[in-house]
Amino acid sequence: MPTIDFSHLTTEQRLDLIGELCDSLDHDAVPLTKAQAAEIDRRLAMLDETPGEGRDAFDVLADLRRRYL
């Protein structure tokens, strides 16, 4: 496979390109590794054991935006 030279791009442009490439993937066609599947299973089991624990994802995102943006 030929290597593409991205050295002319800034760091921000490279990160944008990474995002664009990831967004263009058919996420259903990207397989999980065994470790990723095991981690998802572990987290789902933990959620089933303690359903009232944790925080709403929207609250977490709002906190992160306040902190870092």
> pLDDT value at position 44?
93
Task: Give Cβ neighbours of residue 6 (< 8 Å, ≥ 6 apart).
Answer: 14, 17
Q: pLDDT by residue (tens digit) across 12-68? A: 999 999 999 999 999 889 999 999 999 999 999 998 999 888 889 999 999 999 999
Is 1 contained in some domain? no
| Domains in the chain, number | 1
Sign of the torsion formed by the C-alpha atoms of 52, 56, 59 and 61: positive
> pLDDT value at position 14?
96
Is 63 contained in some domain? yes
> pLDDT value at position 1?
63
Is 27 contained in some domain? yes
Per the CB < 8 A criterion, the answer to whether 29 and 37 are in contact is: no
Domain of residue 21 covers 11-68
Q: Give the predicted TM-score (pTM) of the model.
A: 0.51
